[in-house]
Amino acid sequence: MTAGEGRVAGKVAFITGAAGGIGSTTAKRLIAEGARVVATDLASKQGDLAALRESLADPSALLPVSADVSDLDSLKDAVAAGVDAFGTLDVVFANAGVLLPEDSVENIPGSTWDTVLSVNLTGVFHTAQATFPILKRNRNGSSVILASSTAGIRGGAKSSAYTATKTALVGLAETWSHELGPFGGRVNTTHPTAVGTDLVLNRENLRRFRPDLDDPTPDDVIEAFKRGKLLDIPWIDTEDVANAVLFLASDEARYITGAHLTIDAGSTVKWG
């Protein structure tokens, strides 16, 4: 593919949580389709972002920036660095998030509740506050994608904090689509089922599905994960989410706003 080609050619994307599995895969996918990416993550993740940058055919297409979504000022600084480097922002993927072990509501520590809301909800709010002033000045329109979950469509036991944040993003996307629409901007959510990343396939989370095992592995939970879906898979890949984000970021989705795109192998249809 030559310069100027691709489904998001010439666009500049701002991604939070860019060092993780979904974030890094999405950054590479957008760059492969002609975008440049402002890749933000915590200071502790800058080594991962540097490695991601060096893995690219054109490392100049990615700008690694340290930012904590719970800190509005650090996000504003990251936006300023991105605009200084690339001139504008066209796409925002609010992807940073955490998934912590939870118990029934009466047993959830306040610290767990506060941490999940600080990153998954307030972090997205901060991302919008930092980026919307730039997006509203973009004469070509813009696309904002909020990383929700199937938990944003249907709740499940022992996930009060996580479900609260992912459900809230549905309302924010609809609200912000009203606010950004007059400026040519679109706001949508993505709702993946379990994705095969460390965020999901870690020991603590796997024990929720196999409490009979002290140290379950991904192989031990395949059947349990499959039961929740119509298609015969336990979880999806990061590429599946990246492809959905690419579509929503591209002009192929130019009239799609306030929508909620499931990438879930039929799990929300199966369980309602």
pLDDT at 205: 86
By the 10 Å C-beta count (0-12 exposed, 13-18 middle, 19+ buried), 102 is classed as: buried
- Which residue stretches of the chain have pLDDT < 50? 2
| CA–CA gap between residue 154 and residue 163 (Å, rounded) | 8
| CA–CA gap between residue 185 and residue 140 (Å, rounded) | 9
| pTM of the predicted protein model | 0.95
Nearest to 186 by CA among 79, 258, 262: 258
pLDDT at 1: 54
**264: Cα separation from own chain's centroid:** 15
SS3 6: coil
Measured CA angle at 192 (ends 116, 133), to 5 deg: 65
pLDDT at 5: 86
pLDDT at 106: 98
pLDDT at 63: 98
CB 258 within 8 A of CB 39: no
Active-site amino acid positions: 162
Q: In order of start, what are the domains of the chain with their CATH numbers?
A: 12-196+237-263 (3.40.50.720), 201-234 (no CATH)
pLDDT at 251: 97
Residue whose structure tokens are 């402002």: 38
| CA–CA gap between residue 20 and residue 116 (Å, rounded) | 17
Residue whose structure tokens are 């119509």: 230
pLDDT at 189: 98
Q: What is the pLDDT of residues 196-254, one digit of tens each?
A: 998 899 888 898 889 999 999 999 999 999 999 999 999 999 999 999 999 999 999 99
